[in-house]
Amino acid sequence: MNPAMKHLTLSIVIMVIFSTTAISQMHLGIRGGIYSTWVTADKVEIGTKDVDFSNKSNLGFHVGIVAEYKTSRVFIQPELLYSSVRCDINIDPSEEGLTELELKKIDLPVMVGFKIGAFKFQAGPMASVLIKDKSFFKDITNSDLRLNSTTFGFQAGVGVDVSRLTLDLKYERMLSRLDDDITNTNDNFNARLNQLVFSIGLFFQDR
């Protein structure tokens, strides 16, 4: 997806989220939190180097807006989040040994769930649009790691709502591949992100 299409997609999503606030059952709020991120991936050979993602988890963060449409116990909750996550890549043999891949992206999860008192159970699809990635991968391996600009996955978890405050704990799994291509090799990592997501949010109106 080229930059123009990215901006158009994000603009449409933002307009849809804000326009739906006109519906009486729709509530808008802000949210933020942390990610615990790890990657499942294949090992690849680039020249004389063995390269694979570390399975160690790293912390990241997210911040953005959340909306909720609720009827009785059932709710739909779209979110628009700016996210920053980190992943470690092992390179052996190498003097550096380990390089860090930083990802800046826009996450667009849409949760569907139901509530029992203050507790809620939710699951739904999500899309991520990559804004920027940074690492020393090319400097170490002389190969370029090209990432997919758009990926898809799902989230599922539980939460608690108390008045305007909302707390969520979710598991996220990427269904599409993070990596698109690695130059100078026919192999691919087949890498997929996994995340534990903890969020705290505050709605502007009573629900």
Q: What pLDDT digit, counting tens, does each position of 58-83 carry? A: 999 999 999 998 887 899 999 999 99
Say which CATH class 3-203 falls into: mainly beta
pLDDT attached to residue 75: 92
Task: Give the residue extent of every domain in the chain.
Answer: 3-203
φ, ψ of residue 25 to 5 degrees: the values are -85, 0
Strand, coil or helix: 129: strand
Average pLDDT over residues 9-29: 61
Which tens digit of pLDDT belongs to each residue from 96-155? 566 888 999 999 999 999 999 899 999 999 999 999 998 888 787 778 888 899 999 999
Whether the predicted pLDDT of 14 surpasses 70: no
**Among 172, 163, 175, 164, which Cα is nearest to 198's?**
172
- Tell me which residue of 102, 110, 92 sits closest to 147, measured CA to CA: 102
Residue 182 — pLDDT band, cuts 50, 70, 90? confident
Q: Residue 91 has which token pair?
A: 């390179």
What secondary structure does DSSP assign to 71-110, as a single string? ETTEEEEEEEEEEEEEEEEEEES-SS-EEEEEEEEEEEEE
